[in-house]
A and B are shown apart, each in its own frame.
Chain A
């Protein structure tokens, strides 16, 4: 062996030294193993998009999952999908936190203890097999959520084979009265499609179509088509609701009715129309007249508290409008007379000629296929009677969603084998004997019929999530059923009724039929690939003609039956964030302030101001609501925006199940980890009786009166918006419809206040990025907040920090209220960094961490930031967010982080960058083809998701860009313009029909 020469000596010293250094500090590096054969569709650093369907609610919107290096980092709307046309709601974005939820089951559990899949399947199959062979299949029950595609068919086939009771497609928000009303009025067992976008005069009797009602994302887009000021025109929207919901806040007129009087009002309006002969030609006058026999306008006015003049005026306007449409049937208004009230709504639609053009039974809503709630109560009785031996619960949580008085939870104890197929823990899985973890919808194959003719195709957008370096041992629901079914029935793979090796094979087989059905001439492989790329197949369905039936004339939509002798009617409404409660375990959703009350985290009870004053309740004081069926304690939220005889509590919180992340406090030393107490709040469902409404079979949400009692305790609410009164500061501005038309005609950009300066004008050599935000279009749905948060790695900070002005959201949606409490005008204003040309934040930064880029952005160099926070003080909009702590993401939520965006560390300032990472990518792409970035090349995250297209981003130097045109709109203004910051964001004034009394939002220039 030769002696060591100088060169090798240095080599060895260098390597060992480096190894020692690397080993000596910090945690040891994880092993990085490159692909031996890289997958075709994964290019490091380049995102791949997979089309699939959002399954956060039964609407079935198309999504594109952005996969970066094997992890889905963001969901975006599928622009081709007819249901949502590229936009998403806040719940859809939060689907990612369901995917990466730290509480996801790692593997099957039997009696709470981990078991292998074989063992778990054996337990199920043995029991199933014994029952099936003993011809006792009727002792097996299957409850799933709404599955309108192949999985539903597979489950039904499976149910048939084992001889089980018919499958229940259980949705807590089932809209049974809508279906029942269609049966009564039109003889069709379906929920029609409401062409809100085609209407010009819309009256809603409690339908919260901008929040949760049926296909809320699609309807939000439709609503902006109908209602947003465009070419001098604007539709009219009248909301009849006991509380001012987000939907009603977007109305031109809010009629605050006593809870449950919607039917009376609808009939009264019908009476006005018929009495004055305003009905459409061809309307079935006999049935309509029969219906209004007992109608009395003055009695309706007295009962509802809505003035008779308003009823008459609106009825006349509705009938005379060319495109009138009436909708109803929100969950919050579903009482015992809901079906009759909705029949009245149907009659009203028939009277104004809306049935057919605007109320269409093709395409019908997917909710038409939901099993009524009464099926669940029947099942509960069977369970309690010991008639059920195996209960298979597929991704449903009835223990939470059904009122305790329904007895479901106790009846569950009588079932010898409760099998829960679920991804994450819930009240139901906590009581299941066998928990079989299923893959998240983003990890699965599947399909979903969003409406007749719109069939979305789902594909795995990533492999199963890895927790602590190990993929979760979850399987697709279909795979579990196929395998367990075969084992139970002694069938073999490859032949017989359950022959498919996997659900994927079954799906492909089913899609062979779809291909034929949709008249595809291409080879199936091509059809399949195209459907995968596109996210499904769609065609325009035929709309069958319907007419009202004489039975509809026999309705009695009086006041609903209310149990209890409490002082206030309880209004239980679905949360626009948590839906029926399935979103409650997502920190993102918890921290997004509610659109109306701006409460983040926790539940609250909306209590009329006068009641609160009488009881001495302030915001945050705990109040106990007691109905004959139970009681809950919630912090009070006194408000003028509710009927004086009602209190309202949103659904979705108050979960009670053991979940490490959801129920534990996490405050690691030195860091504030992802927030805790996801299982906080209260569940108003606990106050309901649980007995189904005989007319529709649905759960009557409006069915109890409650007593209120102050407990003396306090739990302050986290409300980031200090006041809804803008104190004459003209932050959100409005203009009357007449003046807006005039402005549109004159077509001149408003003169912005001039601020003389000594400095030369700022020059932008290539781009000047800017935005326009149309306050008239914004409905306050909050989707942009979460799109931004997902895209930009914005942490959630927890309730205490959120309550103390430390919410990190780069974008907030402010609600500003003008007018009186009875006639409020609400404006929703998305506020984020204004990218001022003369930015107050920039000169005060001592180290140039805040600086002006050559493209007009207010740059923020995180690495350079020392954290003096001077910029945060000097920003008049307070859109700069400081990293007060080292915010972390509990694993595996951190896998969602966008690799294109820095995760900011403790002590630095951050804010909206106008998605600079997207701008950079767009510039790169444009440079490759030798041109500038032009309109349509890229969108910011907030813009992309906005269902109403209220946000427009682009290059202000490009005169042809939409943003340039909108920024020059005569409705344009800058927030706090008089400060001379010359923001790059132009807001467009809201166009209001009735000018608010004592309002000051109208710009003075």
Chain B
């Protein structure tokens, strides 16, 4: 994708409210052949993933390459990966909203959709991972005749709460943000579509009173969602930090994971937004300014992550703990060294390109860097889990994990699941916020009064 920007960096000022309506609403509706081809490919991949999962349920977890000592492997790696992806969405939509970072407006809808779908993807993995997934509901505290409750000491139960809370808040926040835009879609459509959008728009009329309530509600939800950016991935990190395994048992993990989550999330946002800008020709809305801001955040989180990596190694050395040292040494030199050094390359070295402003506004460079970051962040979780477990306390059981066709297919299938949701979404809902983009445009009636408080 190399289309030059058709508009200057300050483009939004040149478009009108009517342009926004037109440009966004035309993305919703009957798609072209290319879209269908993509959908077919994604659906086929998803079907393979579903088949692999069905096989795994039938045969047992043994179909996946897990073993002693790696009783966790790629499923939990990918679970943490997807949870992490979600964080950038919430950060953009809630935290940047509260901080009044206006540049968020044109990307937040896509980011928010990404959050919801990423959490939905991540949520599958505990099920895929469990030996008896049909009993996974036992992790929920529900009233039952046996008076059995989950073990609140277990980080996995905390996970259940963290993820379900996160999913709930993100979905509500997402839907609330969509309401005025759905109303716009309703007003622009006819027939059955109009009826469906009418129901989904929850009777939005755009009245002053509605706007007042909407704004207050949206702000409250943003405030509610903000702590989740920090808490959810902290809780996920406790799955590791609360355990005994060398390389896991660390107080560093909560901030380390949160930063990594935001880092990978921004990369994923870029991976999704850049093609949308290209295919939907949204250059007026997603400008170099946006890219620059995103790239800067990616760079900052990368640098912070590098610091954490250094800390991790330093602490392992400085603690003098034999197991920690041996664990780091094995990660760096033994059978998984490629993953370890690959992680450093992708997460620490490649993003340094973004120190250059030219790179930051070059969509190709950004895209490539983002892909590297995504790979690097997946490898980071892989490194924590697979080599970490593979070389832990007990030398007798040290061993190497080899993926199987089944678990690899399920992992690839999870990406298909995410993309089928995302691709579907961009064709039925406005993936650019009509309302918020208009907010940053000059008011058609009151020139020079844009951006005022509503």
Residues of A participating in the B interface, judged by any CB pair closer than 8 Å: 670-672, 720-723, 725-729, 731, 801, 804-806, 812, 814, 831, 840, 843-848, 864-870, 872-874, 876-878, 880-886, 906-909, 976, 979
Which of A725, A866, A870, A882 has most chain B Cβ within 10 Å? A866
The stretch that binds A, out of B172-180, B275-283, B348-356, B386-394, is: B386-394
Q: Top 5 A-B pairs ranked by shortest CB distance?
A: A867-B131, A884-B62, A907-B131, A805-B67, A869-B71
Q: A723-B398, A878-B394, A885-B62 are in contact. Are A873 and B243 (CB under 8 A)?
A: yes
Residues of B participating in the A interface, judged by any CB pair closer than 8 Å: 58-62, 66-72, 126, 129-133, 135-136, 138-139, 148, 150-151, 153-157, 160, 239, 242-245, 322-323, 326, 389, 392-399, 402
Asked if B131 and A906 make an inter-chain contact with CB atoms under 8 angstroms apart, the answer reads: yes
Complex Cα spacing A985 to B239, Å: 28
Asked if B154 and A722 make an inter-chain contact with CB atoms under 8 angstroms apart, the answer reads: no
Asked if A874 and B58 make an inter-chain contact with CB atoms under 8 angstroms apart, the answer reads: no
Q: A868-B130, A878-B394 are in contact. Are A844 and B242 (CB under 8 A)?
A: yes
Which of A721, A864, A868, A883 has most chain B Cβ within 10 Å? A868
Q: A844-B156, A883-B60 are in contact. Are A873 and B69 (CB under 8 A)?
A: yes
Asked if B393 and A870 make an inter-chain contact with CB atoms under 8 angstroms apart, the answer reads: no
Asked if B135 and A866 make an inter-chain contact with CB atoms under 8 angstroms apart, the answer reads: yes
Q: A872-B71, A876-B393 are in contact. Are A840 and B243 (CB under 8 A)?
A: yes
CB-nearest residue of chain B to A907 = B131
CB-nearest residue of chain B to A722 = B398
Q: A806-B67, A873-B72 are in contact. Are A801 and B62 (CB under 8 A)?
A: yes
What residues of chain A lie closer than 8 Å to B157, measured between beta carbons? 846
Complex Cα spacing A870 to B155, Å: 10
Pick the contact of B131: A727, A805, A868, A878 (CB < 8 A): A868
Q: A866-B136, A874-B245, A876-B244 are in contact. Are A845 and B151 (CB under 8 A)?
A: yes
Which of B150, B154, B392 has most chain A Cβ within 10 Å? B154
CB-nearest residue of chain A to B137 = A866
A860 CB → nearest B CB, Å:
13
A83 CB → nearest B CB, Å:
34
Pick the contact of A907: B60, B68, B399 (CB < 8 A): B60
Which of B126, B322, B389, B396 has most chain A Cβ within 10 Å? B396
Asked if B68 and A805 make an inter-chain contact with CB atoms under 8 angstroms apart, the answer reads: yes
What residues of chain A lie closer than 8 Å to B396, measured between beta carbons? 720-723, 731, 812, 814, 831, 878
What residues of chain A lie closer than 8 Å to B70, measured between beta carbons? 805
What residues of chain B lie closer than 8 Å to A886, measured between beta carbons? 60
CB-nearest residue of chain B to A869 = B71
Pick the contact of A727: B69, B243, B326 (CB < 8 A): B326
Pick the contact of A866: B68, B139, B155 (CB < 8 A): B139
Q: A726-B395, A876-B393, A878-B68 are in contact. List 9 more A-B contacts (CB 8 A).
A: A672-B62, A729-B395, A846-B154, A847-B151, A864-B148, A867-B132, A878-B397, A885-B62, A979-B393
Asked if A729 and B131 make an inter-chain contact with CB atoms under 8 angstroms apart, the answer reads: no
A978 CB → nearest B CB, Å:
9
Complex Cα spacing A722 to B69, Å: 11
Complex Cα spacing A886 to B63, Å: 11
CB-nearest residue of chain A to B388 = A873
Asked if A873 and B395 make an inter-chain contact with CB atoms under 8 angstroms apart, the answer reads: no
Complex Cα spacing A806 to B63, Å: 12
Complex Cα spacing A846 to B160, Å: 10
Complex Cα spacing A837 to B110, Å: 50
Asked if B393 and A805 make an inter-chain contact with CB atoms under 8 angstroms apart, the answer reads: no
What residues of chain A lie closer than 8 Å to B322, measured between beta carbons? 728-729
What residues of chain B lie closer than 8 Å to A908, measured between beta carbons? 131-132
Asked if A844 and B155 make an inter-chain contact with CB atoms under 8 angstroms apart, the answer reads: yes
What residues of chain B lie closer than 8 Å to A869, measured between beta carbons? 61, 66, 71-72, 129, 131
Pick the contact of B61: A671, A864, A882 (CB < 8 A): A882
Complex Cα spacing A725 to B139, Å: 40
Supply 27 A–B pairs (Cβ within 8 Å), ascending by A: A721-B396, A722-B397, A727-B395, A728-B322, A729-B395, A805-B67, A805-B68, A814-B396, A843-B153, A844-B156, A844-B242, A846-B139, A847-B138, A848-B148, A867-B61, A869-B66, A869-B129, A873-B72, A874-B244, A876-B392, A878-B397, A880-B68, A882-B131, A883-B60, A884-B60, A884-B62, A906-B132
Pick the contact of B389: A873, A883, A976 (CB < 8 A): A873
Pick the contact of B150: A722, A725, A846 (CB < 8 A): A846
A828 CB → nearest B CB, Å:
12
What residues of chain B lie closer than 8 Å to A877, measured between beta carbons? 393-394
Q: A865-B132, A866-B136, A876-B393 are in contact. Are A906 and B244 (CB under 8 A)?
A: no
Complex Cα spacing A48 to B399, Å: 44
Asked if B62 and A670 make an inter-chain contact with CB atoms under 8 angstroms apart, the answer reads: no
CB-nearest residue of chain B to A812 = B396
What residues of chain A lie closer than 8 Å to B69, measured between beta carbons? 805, 872-873, 878
Pick the contact of A805: B323, B392, B399 (CB < 8 A): B399
Complex Cα spacing A330 to B321, Å: 47
Asked if A723 and B151 make an inter-chain contact with CB atoms under 8 angstroms apart, the answer reads: no
B70 CB → nearest A CB, Å:
8
CB-nearest residue of chain B to A726 = B395
Asked if A843 and B151 make an inter-chain contact with CB atoms under 8 angstroms apart, the answer reads: yes
Complex Cα spacing A869 to B401, Å: 15
CB-nearest residue of chain B to A672 = B62
What residues of chain B lie closer than 8 Å to A873, measured between beta carbons? 69, 71-72, 243, 245, 389
Asked if A729 and B393 make an inter-chain contact with CB atoms under 8 angstroms apart, the answer reads: yes
What residues of chain B lie closer than 8 Å to A868, measured between beta carbons? 126, 129-131, 156
CB-nearest residue of chain A to B385 = A873
Asked if A907 and B61 make an inter-chain contact with CB atoms under 8 angstroms apart, the answer reads: yes
What residues of chain A lie closer than 8 Å to B72, measured between beta carbons? 869-870, 873
Asked if B153 and A866 make an inter-chain contact with CB atoms under 8 angstroms apart, the answer reads: no
B218 CB → nearest A CB, Å:
35
What residues of chain B lie closer than 8 Å to A885, measured between beta carbons? 59-60, 62
Q: A847-B139, A847-B150, A876-B393 are in contact. Are A979 and B71 (CB under 8 A)?
A: no
What residues of chain B lie closer than 8 Å to A848, measured between beta carbons? 148, 150-151
Pick the contact of A806: B62, B156, B392 (CB < 8 A): B62
What residues of chain A lie closer than 8 Å to B394, measured between beta carbons? 729, 731, 876-878, 976
What residues of chain B lie closer than 8 Å to A866, measured between beta carbons? 130-133, 135-136, 138-139
What residues of chain B lie closer than 8 Å to A729, measured between beta carbons? 322-323, 393-395
Q: A872-B71, A884-B66 are in contact. Are A805 and B397 (CB under 8 A)?
A: yes
Asked if A725 and B156 make an inter-chain contact with CB atoms under 8 angstroms apart, the answer reads: no
Asked if B154 and A845 make an inter-chain contact with CB atoms under 8 angstroms apart, the answer reads: yes
CB-nearest residue of chain B to A884 = B62
Complex Cα spacing A868 to B157, Å: 11
Complex Cα spacing A864 to B138, Å: 8
A725 CB → nearest B CB, Å:
7
What residues of chain B lie closer than 8 Å to A727, measured between beta carbons? 326, 395
What residues of chain B lie closer than 8 Å to A728, measured between beta carbons? 322
What residues of chain B lie closer than 8 Å to A881, measured between beta carbons? 68
Complex Cα spacing A805 to B394, Å: 13
Asked if B156 and A804 make an inter-chain contact with CB atoms under 8 angstroms apart, the answer reads: no
What residues of chain A lie closer than 8 Å to B243, measured between beta carbons? 840, 844, 870, 873-874
What residues of chain B lie closer than 8 Å to A865, measured between beta carbons? 131-132
A7 CB → nearest B CB, Å:
30
Asked if A804 and B67 make an inter-chain contact with CB atoms under 8 angstroms apart, the answer reads: yes
Complex Cα spacing A806 to B151, Å: 28
What residues of chain A lie closer than 8 Å to B129, measured between beta carbons? 868-869
A911 CB → nearest B CB, Å:
11
B194 CB → nearest A CB, Å:
46
Complex Cα spacing A671 to B389, Å: 27
A710 CB → nearest B CB, Å:
24
What residues of chain B lie closer than 8 Å to A731, measured between beta carbons? 394-396
Asked if A806 and B138 make an inter-chain contact with CB atoms under 8 angstroms apart, the answer reads: no
Complex Cα spacing A873 to B67, Å: 10
Complex Cα spacing A907 to B133, Å: 9
What residues of chain A lie closer than 8 Å to B130, measured between beta carbons? 866-868, 907
CB-nearest residue of chain A to B394 = A878
B155 CB → nearest A CB, Å:
7
What residues of chain A lie closer than 8 Å to B68, measured between beta carbons? 805-806, 872, 878, 880-882
